């Protein structure tokens, strides 16, 4: 089992310390379900919803999200979301970007709609 983890420094946790995260995060509020994408330079282990003000702890493992927006920007996030798919938000232009979980790769990838309306229905 080989993982392609690009985390800069991953030190084994000796104590029962809560994991802390930096960089791009997409966090879903456990209270109201609001999804928010943001960047943090300060390590955080929890998230306060700006909508309802409730506290959401970040789990020991976050899933990776790759967001490729129509505006051409590409971002990597980590998320506490475990749904098969959800709408991320481009931090550059604010457009919603649909991502779906790819079990093979173990991360969320942007759902590309590149049929350009040709009428191919690819739904199962
Ligand atoms: Zn909330
Ligand atoms: Zn964008």
Domain boundaries defined on the chain = 21-110
77 Cα to the center of ligand 2, angstroms: 14
What pLDDT is stored for residue 17 in this prediction? 74
What pLDDT is stored for residue 112 in this prediction? 83
Q: Which residues contact 37 (CB under 8 A, 6 or more apart)?
A: 24, 25, 26, 67, 77, 88, 89, 91
26 Cα to the center of ligand 1, angstroms: 13
Half-sphere exposure at residue 83, Cβ-oriented, CA atoms within 13 angstroms? 14
What pLDDT is stored for residue 91 in this prediction? 83
33 Cα to the center of ligand 2, angstroms: 23
Q: Average model confidence (pLDDT) for the chain?
A: 85
Q: How confident is the model at residue 124 (pLDDT cuts 50, 70, 90)?
A: low
Minimal CA–CA distance to 79: which of 37, 20, 19?
A: 37
Q: Which ligand has the nearest atom to the CA of 29?
A: 1
81 Cα to the center of ligand 1, angstroms: 14
pLDDT at 11 over 70: no
Percent of the chain clearing pLDDT 90 (strictly above): 67
Q: How confident is the model at residue 43 (pLDDT cuts 50, 70, 90)?
A: very high
Phi-psi region of 33 (alpha: psi -120 to 50; beta: other; left: phi over 0): left
Percent of the chain clearing pLDDT 70 (strictly above): 77
Q: Which of 16-25, 45-54, 61-70, 94-103 has the lowest mean pLDDT?
A: 16-25
Q: How far apart are CA 99 and CA 124, in angstroms?
A: 17
Rg (CA), the chain: 16
């Amino acid at each position: 089992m080989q993982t392609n983890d690009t985390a800069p420094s991953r030190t084994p946790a000796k104590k029962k310390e809560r994991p802390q995260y930096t960089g791009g995060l997409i966090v879903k509020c456990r209270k109201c379900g609001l999804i928010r994408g943001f960047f943090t330079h300060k390590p955080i282990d929890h998230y306060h919803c700006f909508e309802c003000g409730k506290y959401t702890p970040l789990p020991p493992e976050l899933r990776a999200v790759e967001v490729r927006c129509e505006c051409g920007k590409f971002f990597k996030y980590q998320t506490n979301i475990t749904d098969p798919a959800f709408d991320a938000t481009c931090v550059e232009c604010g457009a919603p970007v649909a991502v779906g979980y790819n079990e093979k790769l173990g991360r969320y990838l942007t759902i590309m709609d590149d049929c350009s309306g040709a009428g191919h229905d690819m739904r199962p």
